[in-house]
Structure 1
Amino acid sequence: MSSSETGKAAPRRPLRSNFEPGTSRWAVRRAQWRALGLTDADMEKPKIAVVNTSSELSSCFSHLDGVAAAVKQSIREAGGLPFEVRTAAPSDFITSAGARGGYILPSRDLIANDIEVAVEGALLDGMICLASCDKTTPGQLMAAARLDLPTLVVVCGYQRSGHHRQQHVDIEEVFLAAGHVAAGRMDPAELTAMSEQAVRGPGVCAGIGTANSMHMVCEALGMALPGSAPVAANSPRMMATVEQAGARIVQMVWDDLRPRAILTPEAFANAARVVLALGGSINTIKHLQAIANEAQAGVDVYRLFERLADSTPLIAAIRPNGDHSIEDLERAGGTLAVFKRLAGLYHPGAPTVSGRPLGEAVDRAQVRDEAILRPADQPLSARPSIVILRGSLAPEGGIVKLGLATGKAMRFEGPARVFESQEDAIAALQRGEIERGTVVVMRGLGVRGGPGMGMASRFVFVLDGAGLGEHVAVVTDGQLSGLVNKGLVVGEVSPEAAAGGPLGLVQDGDPIAIDIDARTVDLKVADPELARRRAAFAPPPAGRVRGWLSVYEQVVRPLPEGAVITHTGPGGAR
């Protein structure tokens, strides 16, 4: 039996955390750590950061202190020395209240830098990251790729949802219903009653929104133990993985198994396949690009999704794409069962944190429910679940989530109605000023224009609540909740308006044409007129915000580079 199987780790190499006795670094650290009750023998062990995003602001994180305690105990039993460190803990439904949602995306990079300061500053040997809500997982993966230290991500699970009037209700229904209230089509008391039942425990949003999508992406990349996602928060299955992870990270340190050996181009292709096969969140694309850049993996994730979209079957209809739940997907076999269905389409030789190739775990996996995970030759839709459009309005791309594409127009052309904020667009809709056949343009919400990328989701849900979801298209440089799958919405248009992109030149009444099958989104205005408008264009003035968003606004890179704040080129060229 190998040391990795027993959890007993035999030293195989010097550790960077072990300083030479008698030196100043050794002496002052020993003084600090002796005050924590550590022995000299403890200080020779592999030193593992347990990255915890615990917070009392959101149920997404409310269970993580207990998870951290279990991980630390497992690390100790395997011969390691754990140190718990904390980072920011953003929740889309809580932290989006301020700055028009502008704090959400920048928090991802704040987390990555938080980890760098704590782990690299102390020269620790490895880390376990407790992955929960939307931005914690990509922030942790970015840090892992940047530092290139042995790292294992523990998926900390989804929340239990409830029932209202004998119908399933989760956070997605509450978000959608709020749009119906804003449109005057639902009694606020009904929304209140739904919100009482939607969240019945800790963990991330139910459904295949950004959080669960990123949990499965993490496993698909090889950075979480095979078979660990999705999983119900605090379930016996999740806690068994937690125990295994503590032992495994110690062995990874001795083996010097690092993220950049795992985050290969094949790993990113595997992750893209999973997202496309499940109709996952479009937010995964920019997160994967950011991780690829930090790993210097040489991967253009946007082009990767374009290349793989048509050959990847949509094999599941998990909420909000269909009626099946995230619990159904876990019961059917999770990420490994998805790969089982994608035989011949994924890279089985891609390495994982287990020390074994992904294909070995897939070979042992089973598809436990044929109705939940369809065979690849019997897809749910003939069209890809996510498409990237390009054209004169989005030269560097805009993203459309099609899901099952039921009732969604594949071609739409109409006059533009331009808004500089989501709030203005909602107010105009409530006044009855947005007509059928209109293309609503919401701009100034990009990474610089926000700054921090404003949310456009509430308008989409109010539009649906007003009964116009299938009759009005939306084009925006803002971001969308991973739960949004309503109407025809082209999100994350690049270049953004604030950077001088064509979206900033649109005027009310300009014809806009969207063609899903042709993968185009075009502004039908003559070149001389656009040149005149471009000459008169003025970017947003500096100094509109202070603090962290001011820093982000000045240094953030465009979406095709992952919206990172480190200076990287496409695919990670530095």
Structure 2
Amino acid sequence: MNELRSNFEPGSTRWAVRRAQWLAMGIKEEDFHKPKIAVVNSSSGLSVCYQHLDDISRKVQQAIRDAGGLPFEIRTVAPSDFVTSAGRKARYLMPSRDLLVNDVEVQVEGAELDGMVLLASCDKTTPGQLMAAGRLNIPSIVLACGYQLGGHCGGKDVDIEDLYNGVGTYKSGQISLQDLTDMSCAAIKGPGVCAGLATANSMHCLAEALGMALPGNAPIRAGGERLSDYAVQVGQAIVRLIQQDLRPRQILTKASIQNGIRIAQALGLSVNTVRHLTAIAIESRIEMDVVAEYEALSKDAVQITQVRPNGPHRIEMLDAAGGVRGAMKQLASKLDLSTMTVTGKTLGENLAEAPAPDERVIRPLSNPFRNEPGLIIIRGNLAPDGAVVKLSAVPTSVRRFEGVAKVFEDEDKAIAGLSDGSIQKGQAIILRHMGPKGGPGTVFACSFMAALVGAGLSSGVAVLTDGELSGLNSGITVGQIMPEAAEGGPLAVVADGDRIAIDLTAETIELMITEKELATRLAEWKPRTLPAEYGWLAQYAQLVQPLSKGAVLGDRSRR
């Protein structure tokens, strides 16, 4: 422990002033030489996602003290996709991920602490925390802080997904405002992130799959005794990690990212895992093309779960059946079992100790629910750098779509089109200039998709966007179209009435015009004038990199 970077040289300025600060705070002198550990708590009174984190933080801190460490709680930005999305058409959401990364760097690296426990909750916190761990490369461990439970309404189970889709049902006149109000009263019954395999639970699962969370941690119910037990285990584990000097870049490797992709495809995780895994790889200085890896690994991928919105099973059923640990046990023959984890053991050693999963919920590779990957990358003249489709949320009967383009550059106008009848079956709805640069700050395009599902049109209408989608979205949805429209990608020159063909079997997406016509349109295209921005969004617009580079900030090419 004498080698800890936080043990400053006696007599130096930083030793003297920090000593004075800590004595004034009541920290005992015998604690000064212990490993100093940040408990990164993205707590907020704005959202139920974070309601329980302060209690979890206290448990982690006490476990660190009991294990011989000195904890310091660090507060960061706490974005909530269903609360922070209210302002500026949700443009703050995607930028909040990278704001969190920088927030952690400033506080933890600035203080030269020895390790981090990262309390993961809503969508952007987990990828942001994993990116920070890769960037700082000090001993770190993620604690997935769990999912919320839904309730009952009108004699039926109801959760946030049902409510989300219910907006479209209301807009199309199929239910009343009172019905929607009643659903809102029952949709959430406890703290934690959205039920189902939306982005938050997806990233919790990936934190474990990557080796950065303890085995069995995801998914897990927020507010339960098991989460409290994990809080204690994590407090003990981080002290061991510091003693062993086991760092994130020994865990976050090309092989572990590939393991994460395997899990994303087998479980049908959120489309947003593609951009987030890309960003985690970049911050961890891993040389790999994550989009290309998704393509390569999809060739022999199958789906071994069917958790909402991919099927009838609920997130608590996946939890009870063995969670992501059970899924990895079923996928063991396709995973790199030599990858290191925060237990100090390899993935293979961890899985050898894991109980067998419930195969009614987590099937073996020999008997999958679907003989296709849950996520695929499609390419074509409309998405030369690729686009993402959550195949697990598309009916198996739908593998080809051809329709007429209808272009929107404002999601509210698209949602209004559901009410006035201007959106019809057979259309390819284009939601563009909603990407990281075009927003600026990615626009929350998923609200339209949820409304489309609620209106009963999702099976007959395709949605193509460079904006942000939700892991809860289902139907024929093509997201993260690259390059985005604001970069001059082909999406920018689609016109009303163009025909678009999507073939999910061939993994292609085509704007059905001649190469000459497309080249002419692209040559004549001019960037649109963005609305005047200020503050953080203006800075983000100047710094954000393309979606193909995970929408990270700054130029990483010279690292």
TM-score normalised per structure 1: 0.95
What is the one-letter code of the residue matched to 1:172? E
Secondary structure of 1:490's aligned partner: strand
Identify which of 332, 353, 357 aligns with 1:364.
Answer: 353
Give the Å deviation of 1:542: 5.2
Q: Are the counterparts in 2 of residues 314 and 384 from structure 1 also a CA contact under 8 Å?
A: yes
Distance in 2 (alpha carbons) for counterparts of 1:382 and 1:345? 15
Q: Are the counterparts in 1 of residues 327 and 357 from structure 2 also a CA contact under 8 Å?
A: no
Give the Å deviation of 1:229: 1.0
What is the one-letter code of the residue matched to 1:119? V
Secondary structure of 1:418's aligned partner: strand
Give the Å deviation of 1:123: 0.6
Secondary structure of 1:403's aligned partner: helix
What is the one-letter code of the residue matched to 2:72? F
Where do 5+ consecutive residues of structure 2 fail to align? none
What is the one-letter code of the residue matched to 1:334? G
Cross-structure match for 2:146: 157
Where do 5+ consecutive residues of structure 1 fail to align? 1-10
1:489 aligns with 2:458: no
Distance in 2 (alpha carbons) for counterparts of 1:285 and 1:108? 14
**Structure 1 consecutive aligned stretches of length 4 or more whose deviation exceeds 4 Å:** none
Distance in 2 (alpha carbons) for counterparts of 1:381 and 1:244? 36
User: Deviations along 1:443-471, whole A, 9 cap, x unmatched?
Assistant: 01011001111111121122223332111
1:523 aligns with 2:508: no
Cross-structure match for 2:131: 142
Alignment of 1:52-451 (within 5 A): 52-403=41-392, 405-406=394-395, 408-451=397-440
What is the one-letter code of the residue matched to 1:479? E
Distance in 2 (alpha carbons) for counterparts of 1:467 and 1:339? 35
Q: Are the counterparts in 1 of residues 78 and 125 from structure 2 also a CA contact under 8 Å?
A: yes
What is the one-letter code of the residue matched to 2:236? A
What is the one-letter code of the residue matched to 2:499? P
Identify which of 446, 462, 480 aligns with 2:451.
Answer: 462
User: Deviations along 1:298-323, whole A, 9 cap, x unmatched?
Assistant: 12211111111131220111111111
Secondary structure of 2:38's aligned partner: strand
Secondary structure of 1:128's aligned partner: strand
Q: Are the counterparts in 1 of residues 309 and 393 from structure 2 also a CA contact under 8 Å?
A: no
Task: Go from structure 1 to structure 2 and tell me whether the alpha carbon gap of 1:543 and 1:41 turns closer, same or farther (over 3 Å shift).
Answer: farther
Give the Å deviation of 1:480: 0.6
User: Deviations along 1:390-438, whole A, 9 cap, x unmatched?
Assistant: 1100001111111164255211112211111111212223211123211
Q: Are the counterparts in 1 of residues 465 and 479 from structure 2 also a CA contact under 8 Å?
A: yes
Q: Are the counterparts in 2 of residues 380 and 404 from structure 1 also a CA contact under 8 Å?
A: no
What is the one-letter code of the residue matched to 1:563? A
Secondary structure of 1:98's aligned partner: helix
Q: Are the counterparts in 2 of residues 48 and 82 from structure 1 also a CA contact under 8 Å?
A: yes
Give the Å deviation of 1:474: 1.2
Secondary structure of 1:14's aligned partner: coil
What is the one-letter code of the residue matched to 1:446? G
Task: Go from structure 1 to structure 2 and tell me whether the alpha carbon gap of 1:160 and 1:428 turns closer, same or farther (over 3 Å shift).
Answer: closer
Q: Are the counterparts in 1 of residues 341 and 347 from structure 2 also a CA contact under 8 Å?
A: yes
Cross-structure match for 1:567: 555
Distance in 2 (alpha carbons) for counterparts of 1:359 and 1:250? 23
Q: Are the counterparts in 2 of residues 415 and 511 from structure 1 also a CA contact under 8 Å?
A: yes
What is the one-letter code of the residue matched to 1:304? E
Distance in 2 (alpha carbons) for counterparts of 1:346 and 1:537? 45
Secondary structure of 2:86's aligned partner: coil
Cross-structure match for 1:39: 28
Higher mean alpha-carbon deviation, 394-403 vs 419-428, is at 419-428
Higher mean alpha-carbon deviation, 215-224 vs 450-459, is at 450-459
Secondary structure of 2:39's aligned partner: strand
Give the Å deviation of 1:532: 3.1
Q: Are the counterparts in 2 of residues 400 and 489 from structure 1 also a CA contact under 8 Å?
A: yes
Give the Å deviation of 1:527: 3.0
TM-score normalised per structure 2: 0.98
Q: Are the counterparts in 1 of residues 376 and 388 from structure 2 also a CA contact under 8 Å?
A: yes
Identity of aligned residues (%): 51
Distance in 1 (alpha carbons) for counterparts of 2:456 and 2:491? 26
Give the Å deviation of 1:568: 2.1
What is the one-letter code of the residue matched to 2:540? Y
Identify which of 3, 9, 12 aligns with 1:23.
Answer: 12
Aligned-pair Cα RMSD in Å: 1.3
Secondary structure of 1:310's aligned partner: helix
Secondary structure of 1:390's aligned partner: strand
Identify which of 468, 483, 486 aligns with 1:498.
Answer: 486
Secondary structure of 1:242's aligned partner: helix
Cross-structure match for 1:537: 525
Distance in 2 (alpha carbons) for counterparts of 1:388 and 1:455? 21
Distance in 1 (alpha carbons) for counterparts of 2:455 and 2:315? 28
